[in-house]
Amino acid sequence: MHAYKQSSHTTLKTAALASLAFAIAWVGAAAAQMQNPHHGVIGGPWEVVVKMGHEGETLRLPLTVADENKPQKLGKTLPVMGTPVKVRIEQYLPDLAWETVAVDDPNGAAVAKLSLRGPNLVQDLWLSAGDIARQSISSHIGAVGIRELPGGLAGAAVVQQLADPETVGVLLVWLDDAAVPLPYAVKSGMSTALPGGQWKLSIPRYVPHYSIDRQTKEVSNLSDQPVNPAVQVRVEGEQGSYEQWVWSKFPSSPHMRLQLPFRVRFIDFHVSAEPGQYLLTVAEGLEPRMLHWQDQRKVIEPVELGKRYPFGTEGYSLAVEEIRYDATMENRWKNASEMLLHPAVVVSVLQGDNAEEAILELGKPNHQPTKFGTLVMFYRRVP
The β-bridge partners of 52 are: 375
Smallest Cα–Cα separation from 255: which of 208, 212, 207, 204? 212
Residue 256 has pLDDT above 70, yes or no: no
Q: Is 382 strand, coil or helix?
A: coil
Given 215, 246, 268, the domain boundary residue is 268
H helices present in the chain, as ranges: 2-35, 39-42, 156-160
How far apart are alpha carbons 127 and 131 in whole angstroms? 8
Q: Are residues 145 and 287 in the same domain?
A: yes
Given 237, 268, 299, the domain boundary residue is 268
152 alpha carbon, distance to own chain's centre: 28
Q: Are residues 243 and 188 in the same domain?
A: yes
Answer yes or no: is 32 within a domain: no
Answer yes or no: is 281 within a domain: yes
Rg (CA), the chain: 31
Q: Are residues 282 and 145 in the same domain?
A: yes
Instruction: Output the pLDDT for position 154.
Output: 54
Mean pLDDT of the chain: 86
Answer yes or no: is 368 within a domain: yes
Residue 10 has pLDDT above 50, yes or no: no
Q: Are residues 141 and 283 in the same domain?
A: yes
Domain that holds residue 259: 168-268
What average pLDDT does the segment 122-131 reach? 94
Q: Are residues 189 and 248 in the same domain?
A: yes
Answer yes or no: is 4 within a domain: no
What is the total count of domains within the chain? 3
Answer yes or no: is 84 within a domain: yes
Q: Are residues 172 and 263 in the same domain?
A: yes
Q: Which stretches does DSSP call E strand in 248-372?
A: 263-268, 277-283, 286-294, 297-302, 308-310, 317-335, 344-351, 354-361, 366-370
Q: Are residues 144 and 282 in the same domain?
A: yes
Q: Are residues 143 and 283 in the same domain?
A: yes
On whether the CB atoms of residues 230 and 245 are closer than 8 A, the answer is yes
Q: Are residues 51 and 64 in the same domain?
A: yes
Instruction: Output the pLDDT for position 377.
Output: 96
What average pLDDT does the segment 46-55 reach? 89
Comparing 252 with 371, the larger pLDDT belongs to 371
How far apart are alpha carbons 369 and 355 in whole angstroms? 12
Q: Are residues 142 and 288 in the same domain?
A: yes
Answer yes or no: is 25 within a domain: no
Given 298, 314, 331, the domain boundary residue is 331
Answer yes or no: is 19 within a domain: no
Q: Are residues 324 and 347 in the same domain?
A: no
